[in-house]
Amino acid sequence: MRPIADQVHLVTGATQGIGKETVRALARLGARVILAARDQARGQAVVEELRADTGNARIELALVDFASFASVRAFLDDVRARVAALDVLVNNAGGYFGRRQQTDDGHEMSFQVNHLGYFMTTLGLFDRLRAAGDARVVCVSSDAHWGGRVDFDDLDRTEGYFGYRAYATSKLMNLLFVAEAARRFPPSLTINAQHPGVVASGFGLGERGVMKAFYLVARPFLRTAAQGADTSVWLSTAPELGAVTGKYFVRRRERSTLADARDPELARRLWTESERLTGMSLPA
Ligand SMILES: NC(=O)c1ccc[n+]([C@@H]2O[C@H](COP(=O)([O-])OP(=O)(O)OC[C@H]3O[C@@H](n4cnc5c(N)ncnc54)[C@H](OP(=O)(O)O)[C@@H]3O)[C@@H](O)[C@H]2O)c1
């Protein structure tokens, strides 16, 4: 990889929680870091806070709402206009939706935000990642993927919605995406996934019900957001990982995954379906 001071990193979902701590750590290492957020005022406040805390003035804001294809496209145009080469992309933005919500594009929220968001961001910046020479993509998935199951007949979960299953499936899709991308990317571009642990962040707090109750009650016993960010930062920067791709890590250790996450036919099918739904594909 290029010297860290020459590197450009992009972290999505960086207003709070694991993403914010990922930006903090990467900025401390000296990279130029683009922090993606959906709210201008909140995003700019985090930029100012992290600039002051890290002493790195090269932290900047880009706006995106992953629940909108139009917003993601505008975001990709914005980032592409700002950077000729991107060394690290951390796909981190995501959420849990206890009740079924539908985006303006007609998709179930966790499918569009948690999976199609990663897919579009990575494919939309593929040429910028290639231009960096050696580059890395990190996808924040979850051990929740063990509870996922991809149903190609109802990707938008119109029948019998159950929030945990929707979330778990979107995190399984993250692993299928990583596996398929690792097969399709050139060796100079690696892509890996991590589970951050059960982390006291903003996660689950925007919902009513069991998930919120769990994250509130268990809070003192959970990992911190900085601990959750550690494996993302390590995957983004550790020199010994230059040739490692398509793997899943927990606390810096490679871990096994649900058999479905390793099914190449499922991964290929999800990729094809994601191409169709987003109109995006890798250059030939
Ligand atoms: N916390 C855990 O226990 C846990 C466990 C396993 C995996 N994870 C994964 O870790 C990642 C980060 O989660 P976290 O725990 O740090 O949660 P968090 O504190 O709620 O942070 C989530 C981030 O994603 C952003 N985001 C959510 N929906 C978005 C949208 N539609 N468009 C743009 N940005 C959006 C949020 O922005 P706003 O601030 O604007 O809402 C926030 O910056 C997620 O992928 C999650 O699935 C978390």
CATH number, domain at 144?
3.40.50.720
Residue 203 CA, ligand 1 centroid: distance in Å = 6
| Those residues with Cβ within 8 angstroms of residue 84's Cβ, 6 or more apart along the chain or in another chain | 128, 131
Residue 280 CA, ligand 1 centroid: distance in Å = 24
Between CA 32 and CA 4 the distance in angstroms is 8
Q: In ligand 1, which atom is closest to the CA atom of 114?
A: 45
Residue 224 binned pLDDT confidence (cut-offs 50, 70, 90): very high
Q: In ligand 1, which atom is closest to the CA atom of 140?
A: 45
Per-residue model confidence as pLDDT tens digits over 37-47: 999 999 999 99
Q: Decide if 283 is inside a domain.
A: no
pLDDT at 16: 97
What percentage of the chain reaches a pLDDT higher than 70?
100
- Domain count of the fold of the chain: 1
What percentage of the chain reaches a pLDDT higher than 90?
91
pTM: 0.97
Q: Decide if 165 is inside a domain.
A: yes
Q: Decide if 284 is inside a domain.
A: no
Q: Decide if 47 is inside a domain.
A: yes
Q: Decide if 19 is inside a domain.
A: yes
Q: Does 246 contact ligand 1 (Cβ within 6 A)?
A: no
Q: Does 198 contact ligand 1 (Cβ within 6 A)?
A: yes
Q: Does 204 contact ligand 1 (Cβ within 6 A)?
A: no
Q: Decide if 18 is inside a domain.
A: yes
Per-residue model confidence as pLDDT tens digits over 64-86: 999 999 999 999 999 999 999 99
| Those residues with Cβ within 8 angstroms of residue 233's Cβ, 6 or more apart along the chain or in another chain | 22, 25, 26, 29
Q: Does 109 contact ligand 1 (Cβ within 6 A)?
A: no
Q: Is the pLDDT of residue 208 over 80?
A: no
Q: Decide if 129 is inside a domain.
A: yes
| Those residues with Cβ within 8 angstroms of residue 186's Cβ, 6 or more apart along the chain or in another chain | 130
Q: Is the pLDDT of residue 50 over 80?
A: yes
Q: Decide if 60 is inside a domain.
A: yes
Alpha helices, DSSP H, located in the chain: 17-29, 40-54, 69-82, 109-110, 117-124, 126-131, 163-184, 210-217, 225-237, 264-278
Residue 51 binned pLDDT confidence (cut-offs 50, 70, 90): very high
Domain extent, residue 230, equals: 4-278
Between CA 65 and CA 38 the distance in angstroms is 5
